[in-house]
Chains A and B, each alone.
Chain A
Amino acid sequence: MERSMAYERDLNLKATELRLGLPGSDEPEKPSTTPSVRSNKRASPEISEESRSKGSSCVSSKVESGERDSAPPAKEQVVGWPPIRSYRKNCLRAKKNDQVDGAGMYVKVSVDGAPYLRKIDLKVYKSYPELLETLENMFKLTIGEYSEKEGYNGSDFAPTYEDKDGDWMLVGDVPWDMFISSCKRLRIMKGSEARGLSC
């Protein structure tokens, strides 16, 4: 039942509906805040396949955890309150996978060879394609398509992340929600180190 719901959402029936008016002139489906980065490109079939199957399991877990989605949105969080150190906030957040809170989840992004780092708010993205597109735009590079067997084969860049155990993982391997709750920082590897990951 939940699977078909997710499937329908991903097919985006609304967009293909016949109606008067220009495409894209609709209000967004969700009443909650939409991510500031909208993916206009059609996501590659492989990766959207991945996120669809993983997405549905995420949807079902949300439904199971019950009130979270149907209850009124979580109390809006005030910046810097309660007054605890920011890096500790990320540690606490990583411990709680199912908690809904309104604060951003900023992680550092480094690219091999770039002189300075950037910070992005992972909460703003809802899926891997959105995140990867942002990274491509931010750093003016091409990461390419993910496949479970071969990673980002053929690309000069491989997006990796450090999880809460301190291990470096390839972005895309785990379900999005699990990624969000365990990602501490991102590093886009370059060159031979990156290509070597596909082996």
Chain B
Amino acid sequence: MLRKASSFPEEMLEHVLSFITSDKDRNAVSLVCKSWYEIERWCRKRIFVGNCYAVRPEMVIRRFPELRSVELKGKPHFADFDLVPDGWGGCVYPWIAALATAYPLLEEIKLKRMVVSDESLEVIAKSFKNFKVLVLSSCEGFSTDGLAAVAANCRNLRGLDLRESEVDDPSGQWLSRFPDSFTSLASLNISCLGAEVSFSALERLVGRCPDLKTLRLNHAVPLDKLANLLRGAPQLVELGTGAYSAELQPDVFSNLAGAFSGCKELRSLSGFWNVFPGYLPAVYPVCSGLTSLNLRDANIQGADLIKLVSQCRSLQRLWVLDYIEDIGLEELAACCKDLTELRVFPSDPYGAEPNVSLTERGLVSVSEGCPKLQSVLYFCRQMTNAALVTIAKNSPRMTCFRLCIIEPRAPDYQTLQPLDLGFGAIVENCKDLRRLSLSGLLTDRVFEYIGTYAKKLEMLSVAFAGDSDLGLHHVLSGCEKLCKLEIRDCPFGDNALLANAAKLETMRSLWMSSCSVSFRACKLLGQKMPRLNVEVIDERGPPDLRPENCPVEKLYIYRTIAGPRFDMPGFVWTMNGDSV
């Protein structure tokens, strides 16, 4: 029996759609037919814009009139490593101004790598009566004055998360701007703040918010005050400590240990700046329940570190410095069978010589002992193809593999061969791999493997690798799901780029810096592909003052329906059509 689409009540479809929250599924629904497109757009509540320049705010507002949550990303990922000059863009104000008029009921704003001014924060604070969640991840451009406006005005705020942002904080007084009647806070992350916050204001705030589940303090909160905070919030699930050192005093210690014991719901710990090891046992009572431990800023070493980690038998996520060494990772592999994510960061990334005994063996141990391992970020100084092959065989469920061998172009240290085979094994065995970062000595061969096997790969980061355009061509022509590609210091030029121009429209963005792409090719690409913004970043001055075949410093290409942007600084040129 045929049923026409129009005989299916709209309200029923809306009800069904309310259970569909994934962006991809929502997008698929909207493509079924015109009426589904209409119904879907009227009931979409959340939107994620992966590149704030891919669309204009007016376009979003026109299509989705009932949004409650907006998430935006600005600068390219390589901005994290100083590769994007200051002033490049990513200013959120135009979005905030548009959202303020269009969505008085907006509840959530999440921003990543954007420039957020105090003025933007003031507009947010005053425009949305029911504002609940603000997440500023790796953002910059604002001060505690902007935060004060949010604290003073957002009566229903549930979450304020400033993770990894750079905040100008001349004073810690902003926390006192939360009125005494304000009790709705569930999540507070101020770990990135440099200055002291008013401790008494913090204590009172924590004490009067019964729903507070996440509290990430900054290093300025001293250890002897931590116990008071914990006693005021025994319901905490996630805690980031402040500085974790003080003179060892028995009463301070027992007070702290008692406070930790009272936090029966604690599942995640972070912070631990400046650790005095004598105080570590105070957290032992909560270790067995921890699923997430972030020691990325902790200078704990040797036996203290291993003892701490080995008590966390339920650990799923561990972020740690390379002080853990191979021996600590062996212990981790033996104790933490539920581990899904491991990140090992370098304690001395610029030292010429290794300062710790962390090698490929540590990662191999973890892959052997932890069958659920899915996500790895590993900084080390040596690697072999054999180790990578072993890791690949042990961890077929890997979805994110990022290896950073500190010396660029370092070969397999035993065979002196490139690491093509090792990474080839990773992409061949790990069929669900979505993210990959390469390092070490690599030829075009590794890109051939990637293009052949990495069919689910969405994001690829490449540095100091490859021999020729063939490398880039393999990736662009083979990786069907590729969304973000970022490349630095590789001998990739015009040919692969121009031959795969159409591919670029299926991706979010491509970044290439210190490669061999000529100005001529950039212009050509810009002219051929009107739905791409081809932006040349060159601090040497206008590219047309140099010969056309001269390579550009940096190139950022992204698909867009917004046309070329108008807020480019003096060192960015757009290659779009007539404006060249």
Contacts and interface: CB of A to CB of B under 8 A. Distances in A.
Contact of B352 (A75, A92, A187): A75
A136 interface: no
B354 interface: no
Interface residues of B, number: 35
B154 to A, nearest CB: 26
A86 interface: yes
B351 interface: yes
B406 A74 contact: no
A148 B3 CA distance: 89
Interface in A60-115: 74-75, 77-87, 91-92, 95-96, 99, 101, 103, 108, 110
Given A77-B350, A166-B196, A184-B194, A84 B220 contact: no
B178 interface: no
A63 B347 CA distance: 26
Contacts of A81: 81, 408, 463
Given A78-B408, A81-B463, A86 B350 contact: no
B346 A80 contact: no
A95 B351 CA distance: 13
Interface residue SS majority, chain B: loop
A83 B78 CA distance: 9
Contacts of A50: none
Contact of B166 (A79, A82, A87): A87
A184 B78 CA distance: 23
B352 A86 contact: no
Contacts of A3: none
A163 to B, nearest CB: 11
Contacts of A187: 170
Contacts of A123: none
Contact of A82 (B138, B195, B196, B406): B406
Contacts of B83: 79-80
A114 to B, nearest CB: 12
Contacts of A85: 80-81, 138, 164
Interface of B: 78, 80-83, 86, 138, 164, 166, 168, 170, 192, 194-196, 219-220, 297, 299, 345-352, 379, 404, 406, 408, 461, 463, 488-489
Interface of A: 74-75, 77-87, 91-92, 95-96, 99, 101, 103, 108, 110, 117, 119, 162, 166, 184-185, 187
15 contacts: A75-B352, A79-B82, A80-B81, A80-B82, A81-B81, A81-B408, A82-B349, A86-B80, A87-B192, A92-B350, A96-B348, A110-B168, A119-B86, A166-B194, A185-B194
